[in-house]
Amino acid sequence: MTTLTYPFSEVDVRALKAGDAVSVNGLIRTGRDRFHKFFADGGKLPCDFRDGALFHCGPVVVKNPDGSWRVVAGGPTTSVRENPYEPAFIEQTGVRLIIGKGGMDARTLDACAKCGAVYLQAVGGAAAVTAHAITRVTNVYFLEEFGAAEACWEFEVKDFRCVVAMDSHGTSLFAQVEAASNRRFRELLAK
């Protein structure tokens, strides 16, 4: 298990290989469809993502009596929807970690290699368990404009476990599984 602590350095990120287990600690921010479209359309980001983490997540967040926020479910959302936007986001912001589920395309993999970023696979279907790694909500941006699920939430996390699924060396576990599945499918058809 490799421990990554915010700010995430390019050296540490480039040392990761596809298949490595990681524990993410410190600051991460969420961003989904509306956030990515806003950025792609030239919108000004509310915070600096350099050496940071972008989590594809639409959390369930409740307000405590004291006005603070608490995450009750924080699982990853499917990342493929962000394929049109992610390469430019990586290149223009200097973000180091993209966290989601299901993988992304070759253009995002190329941007990871070029810029020193990785795609981390978080566990899908365990949103309540994942929420336990979120120790505090430190801020929220675009809550009024985008709504709670699409807002840009800023979390502090401790021991948020993921697997490197796409590294900065051009390796994608998703591409490997697809290639192996296609080979096996052709073998079965040949019988």
Q: CB under 8 Å to 62, separation ≥6 — which residues?
A: 69, 70, 72
Q: Among the options 36, 56, 132, 169, which is catalytic? A: 36
Contact of 50 with 10, CB cutoff 8 Å: no
Residue located via tokens 């980001």: 45
- From 105, 114, 118, 117, select the one nearest 162 (Cα to Cα): 118
Q: Measured between alpha carbons, how far apart are the two ends of the chain, in Å?
A: 42
- Joined together, the tokens standing for residue 86 give 């992610």
Sole residue written with tokens 């298990």: 1
Which 8-state DSSP code applies to residue 52? -
Residue 102 · residue 78 · CB < 8 Å: yes
The question of whether 36 is a catalytic residue gets the answer yes
- Tell me which residue has tokens 């949103």: 127
Which active-site residues does the annotation give?
Answer: 36
